[in-house]
Amino acid sequence: MKEKNLNQSLKKLSLIAEWFEKQEEVDVEEGLKKVKEAAEIIKEAKKQFKEIENEFEEIKKEIEEE
Amino acid sequence: MESKGKPAVKELLENNIFSISAYLKLLNGVLNSFGARIMGEVSEMKMGPSGHVYFSLKDKKDKSVLSCVIWNYDYKLCGVQLREGLEIIASGIPDVYPPTGRLSFKAKTIQLVGEGELKKEYERLKKKLEDEGLFSLERKKEIPSFVKNVGIITSKQGAVINDFLNNLGRFGFNIKFIDSRVEGLEAVKDLLNSVKTMKKLNLDVLVIMRGGGSLESFLAFNNEVLIRAAADLPFPVIAAIGHDKDVPLLALMADKMVSTPTAAANLLNQSWLEAELELKRKEREIFNYFASFLNDTKYSFNNLFLKVKERLEKVFASFKMIEYKIKTVIPKILENEIRKAKEKMENMERVIINNDPERNLKLGYCIAQNEKGIIKNIKDVKLEETVDLKVFDGIINTQVKKIQKYERKKS
């Protein structure tokens, strides 16, 4: 789920960046809304990069013989 | 142990009479401890209906012969195709087969001898699997982004697992590790069991690793059964098993082949690191856009302010002009007008003064009046009529005695 969210977050951010790129006339109010939205997404996404320790488990192989 | 054991067995053998079955059991018990690796040339090979393979191993020098058998499962697993004349190393234990009373060597696994044979076998299997499309790009699974559940198969011995773990980023990977032999006669079985165990787990990717080595030490990774089992996994396989001259066939089949454990770790880190960078890039991009947005707005405001200022300045300039006019021009005009009016009034005053009847009376003029009013011409009076003459200091009452009209010359 998380990894999907991360992908979606990056897509959403790309859309916001594109929106800014396309604006010919400056609409500060709408721009502010978009920046707020982007800041929220970035904040959430960054949580996933906060050095989450890896889990390591050694498991035994099942022996299969004939 | 030996000094105590030998006499005990001897005593047992000497003091008892055995049934064939009991004797063979005893014998096989002893023979089982004679596990060994035997090298020889294959002869008299035949396959039984159940798939077990019976063959003889012949000593090249003195033609001594050892009867051998390898069970179907082990035969398939060993990956060697037996044929007469082939030199092999068979690993197993000897025993006497009670129904026939023949001693045979039960091979658990078979290995080819000599680089030439190994190379031939490698090429044969490579072509076979290639023809089946097992190495084709079309069937390769993509390594997913943001991998979490990682299976690792490698030996706990050596630096491989540590190299991998040390280079793996801390992105919350959930690692399931199986310690497996990666070379030697038992490696194939170990690896195969490991792959089968991993298949039952919910993994995003499986990484199979080992350090470098010679073609011979890669044997397990050229095993057909193992390769097929790995190809059958529902998730992608990354092979980090290095290679000598020839790439191990398992690596050719793998969905992704890398040369070292470090490279495998980097591959798993890649999408996370890229996403981290991309996130930073997007953050910078969006905030820069917005900053430029604000700058544009500020610029527009400044522009607007300048325009308004300019207009107001113009208005103020007009006011100043008006003020100047009010202060300087208008007073002058007014002054002029006042002066003119004053002059007019003075003139008028002079006229009035000049025409004041009192003044004229003083000069000697008088005003003649009768009952009808001021007499201006001879028609206004009659003879014998009383007329008042008003002079400067009083009225003289007179009577008209004569009326004489002036004779005026026509001009």
User: Tokens 């090979």 — which residue?
Assistant: B45
Pairing of strands B87-97, B36-47: antiparallel
pLDDT above 70 for B124: yes
Cβ neighbours of A12 in B, within 8 Å: none
Which residue carries 């033609």 as its tokens? B63
Mean pLDDT along residues B217-245: 89
Rounded distance between C-alpha atoms, residue A17 and residue B281, angstroms = 10
Query: How close is the nearest chain B Cα to the Cα of A4, in Å?
Result: 8
Of B209, B214, B121, the residue nearest B165 (C-alpha): B209
Tokens of B310: 């300019």
Question: Mind listing the pLDDT tens digit for each residue in B329-339?
Answer: 878 888 888 89
The tokens describing B87, both together, are 């030199």
Choose among B272, B282, B290: nearest Cβ to A14: B282
- Give the C-alpha separation, A37 to B190, whole Å: 52
Q: Which residues between 10 and 49 in chain A have a beta carbon less than 8 angstroms from any beta carbon of chain B?
A: 10, 13-14, 16-17, 20-21, 23, 26, 28, 31-32, 34-35, 38, 42, 45-46, 48-49
* B244, B215 contact by CB (below 8 A): yes
Q: Where are the alpha helices (DSSP H) in B200-260?
A: 224-231, 249-253
- Please indicate whether residue B284 or residue B213 has the higher confidence score (pLDDT): B284
Three-state SS sequence of B335-385:
HHHHHHHHHHHHHHHHHHHHCCHHHHHHHCCCEEEECCEECCCHHHCCCCC
User: Is B356 or B49 the better-scoring residue by pLDDT?
Assistant: B49
Verify whether the Cβ–Cβ distance A21 to B279 is below 8 Å. no
DSSP code for B143: P
Residue-wise burial string across B356-378, b where 16 or more C-beta atoms lie within 10 A, e elsewhere: eeeeeeeeeeeebeeeeeebeee
Sort strands B373-374 and B386-391 into parallel, antiparallel or unpaired. unpaired
- In angstroms, the CA B198 to CA B154 distance is 12
What would be the CATH architecture of the domain defined by B2-113? Beta Barrel (2.40)
pLDDT score of B200 = 94
The C-alpha angle B286, B292, B293, rounded to 5 degrees, equals 85
| pLDDT band with cut points at 50, 70 and 90 for residue B116 | confident
CATH class of the B123-271 domain in this structure: alpha beta
Q: For chain B, what are the domain ranges? A: 2-113, 123-271, 358-399
Q: Is pLDDT above 50 for B2?
A: no
Interface test with A, best of B289, B295, B296, B302 (most A CBs within 10 A): B289
- The question of ipTM being above 0.85 is answered as no
B190: exposed, middle or buried (Cβ count in 10 Å: 0-12, 13-18, 19+): buried
Return left, alpha or beta for B79; rule: phi > 0 is left, psi -120 to 50 is alpha, else beta.
left
Residue B3, pLDDT > 60, answer: no
Q: Which residues pair with B96 in a beta bridge?
A: B103
pTM over 0.80: no
A65 has a pLDDT exceeding 80: no
Q: pLDDT for B51-63, tens place per residue?
A: 999 999 999 888 8
All residues of chain B having their beta carbon less than 8 Å from the beta carbon of residue A48 are 171-172
Cβ neighbours of residue B148 closer than 8 Å, sequence gap 6 or more: A2, A3, B172, B173, B174, B204
Looking at beta carbons, which pairs linking B274-279 to residues 24 or more positions away fall under 8 Å?
A: B275/A6, B275/A10, B275/A45, B275/B145, B275/B146, B276/A49, B278/A10, B279/A9, B279/A10, B279/A13, B279/A42, B279/A45, B279/A46, B279/A49
Read off the pLDDT of residues B245-291 as tens digits, 9 standing for 90 and up.
Answer: 778 999 999 999 998 999 999 999 998 888 888 888 988 988 888 88
Chain B residues with beta carbon closer than 8 angstroms to that of A46: 279
Q: How many CB pairs under 8 A join A and B?
A: 121
